[in-house]
Structure formats: structure tokens, C-alpha cells
Chain A
Amino acid sequence: MTVLTEVVAGVTLPPYRLRTSTVRLFRFSAVTWNAHRIHYDAEYARSEGYPDVLVQSHLHGCVLLNAVLAWAGPGVTLRSFGWQNRGIAVAGDELIVTGEVVEVRDAPGERVAELRLEERRQDGELCAPGHVTVAWPAGPAGPDGPAGP
């Protein structure tokens, strides 16, 4: 979790890691009612030229956002977020998110930050670049007050 005084352009997020597994992919498909065999049927995934079952495009998005929320703390409001699926990951891969604050601006009662994000596999291959805009309430202590409890 971060403190608003630390939020300036150039600040980097602590790397966020999430290990995928066939169980996680199955359960993500189940809760999103995604019956695409490429996520749970390894033989089918291989028939399409992949080494194993694929991490869902939306799970890549979730992992990027997890990194932002873990860093920004519970007081943050998401304004906008986007990502592109550029490279695949399969069950067993570890996904690692890094990010950097590229712009900070103060508005009445809030501080707004824009970040650039990257999600890579453990071997360094880029899976999903992204970007996010977040805002914190300035609070009674002003824009330099703590972002969360």
C-alpha cells in the first residue's frame, strides 16, 4: 500500500506475482461461464498449436489490476483501465506485473495518477501491456495525507 506523498511521476510499483495452475484456470472459466476448451482441455489446446491450456485474456487483465490495487490501497478509485493481450501464458506459468507512475495531477479534493503497466511471464516474455488511471481522495489532511488506514 502506498502513501500519497510517494505518488510522483517515475515511482515504480513493487513487482506483483501470481502463479497460474490448471485449477485456477478451470475455476476462472467456471465463474465466468467460459466453456472455451482452450482453457481446460490440454489436448485441444495442443491441436491449436499451444503447449498447454491458455490463461484467459480476462485473467491477464485481472492480474494487472491486482498489482495496481495492492499498491494503491483500499481508498483508491479506478477511473479507467486497459490492456492488450500480446503474448500467451499457460498453466504453471508465473505472471509478474511491473508498473510506473507516468503522470500525477491534483484536482479539487483528489489526486489523480496515470500508470503504465506490463505483465510478463517468468521467462521475461511480454504477455500484456496496460495502463490505468486512479484517484485518491485528498481527505482532511490534504493531498499529502495517507491514502488508506
Chain B
Amino acid sequence: MGDGDTGVLVAAERRLAAETGVTRRRDLGVLAVRDLERFALVAGAPALPDGQAPPLYLSSVMGWSPGPPESELRPDGSGTDETRGLPLEGLRLMGAGQELQFHHPARAGDRVVETTTLLSVRHKSGRTGDLLLLHVRREFADGAGRPLVTCDETFVAR
């Protein structure tokens, strides 16, 4: 990896360090039964009773807003809404896994609220060059504040 790329990584690390521990809350809207059924179909998941969401639906959706327009997407196609709102300019992001606690099934018609916290950012020198390891916690609750799913996700940023 060249010095220029390392510079991008160090700058991103500094931006992300300032975000660590900050919790953001947003309303994801109401779950539509068609979206849940489509997800189950393409994931090969079993159909669930009573309009239940497939267990990984909430933590798999990357974007909940209509945008951004194509002109505002990064060169790799991602938008900030699809990368947990993190300041990742100049970096490529890959999902590296999740740890989930299931509290209560989400259902079609539920309003879902998400709180997101960047738990940590670590700079690592790996076989394939330098990278940042990000740990992000998201807690999903229904409109009444009842917890649905807690998801700790690891991302690799290069």
C-alpha cells in the first residue's frame, strides 16, 4: 500500500475516533410485509407466521432512506446511509460479520427505531496491507421502545 493510501486511512481513523461512543437515533419507518417476504424469498429463508420479519432482516438492510441520488454515491456505489452513517470518504468498506441478540420478533406493521454507536476503531497492519477494523452496535426497538434485536457488527475499511 502506498503512502497516499495510508494517509487516507490515518485521516479516516482520526475522523472515526471522534465518532466513537456517539449514539445516533433514527426512525426507520414502518416495516412493509412485501419487503419482508422479498427478503425471505431471496435469502432462501423459511416463511414465518404472523408477518414476522426474517431474523436477519433488520440488521441486513443497508439503506433505509430513499437516497442519496446516484451523483452522491461513492465510486464503489455505496452511500453514507448504507454504511451506518460513518465518515468513510476515500475508503472501501466490507462487512466482516455480526453478533446478534434476539429479544422479540419484529413484525410487518411495526415502526422500528434504530440507535447506532461506533464502539471502536482500530488500525491494523495485515497481510494485504493496512486496514481499519470498526465495531458498530445497533439496537433496534419498536415504536413503544420494546427491544427487538441488538447487533454488533464488524467492518473492515481499506
Residues of A within 8 A of B (CB): 18, 24, 27-28, 31-38, 41, 44, 48, 56-59, 61-63, 65-66, 69-70, 74, 77-85, 128
Residue of A nearest to B48 (CB): A74
Q: Do B42 and A70 touch (CB < 8 A)?
A: no
Q: Is B44 an interface position by the 8 A CB rule?
A: yes
Instruction: Please tell me if B79 contacts chain A, counting CB pairs below 8 Å.
Output: yes
Q: How many residues of B contact A (CB 8 A)?
A: 36
- Asked whether, in the complex, the Cβ of B45 is within 8 Å of the Cβ of A65, the reply is yes
Question: What residues of chain B have their CB less than 8 Å away from a CB belonging to chain A?
Answer: 35, 38-39, 41-46, 49, 54-56, 59-64, 73, 76-79, 82, 92, 94-102, 154
Which residues on A sit within 8 Å (CB–CB) of B35? 31
Q: Does the CB pair A24–B82 fall under 8 Å? A: no
Q: Which residues on B sit within 8 Å (CB–CB) of A34?
A: 62-63, 82
> Would you call B76 and A62 a contact (CB within 8 A)?
no
Q: Nearest chain B CB to A14's CB is how many angstroms away?
A: 15
Q: What chain B residues lie within 8 Å of A65 (beta carbons)? A: 45, 55-56
Q: How many A-B residue pairs have CB under 8 A?
A: 109
Nearest A residue to B95, CB-CB:
A57
Q: Which of A56, A77, A85, A128 has the most CB of B within 10 A?
A: A85
Measured in the bound complex, the distance between the Cα atoms of B92 and A32 in whole Å is: 19
Q: Smallest CB-CB separation from A95: which chain B residue?
A: B44
Q: Given that A32-B62, A56-B95 are contacting pairs, would A24 and B55 also be in contact in the complex, using a CB cutoff of 8 Å?
A: no
In the complex, A79 Cα to B62 Cα: how many Å? 23
Other-chain residue from B38, B62, B78, B95 in contact with A27 (beta carbon distance below 8 A): B38
| Contact of B76 (CB < 8 Å), options: A38, A59, A77, A84 | A38
User: Which of B42, B63, B92, B97 sits near A28, CB closer than 8 Å?
Assistant: B42
Given A66-B43, A66-B46, the answer on whether A58 and B56 have CB atoms closer than 8 Å is: yes
B45 touches A62 (CB 8 A): yes
Q: A63-B44, A65-B45, A65-B56 are in contact. Are A35 and B99 (CB under 8 A)?
A: no
Contact residue among B42, B44, B61, B92 (Cβ-Cβ distance under 8 Å from A33): B61
A34-B63, A41-B77 in contact; A85/B44 too (CB < 8 A)?
A: no
Q: How far is the CA of A41 from the CA of B45 in the complex (A)?
A: 25
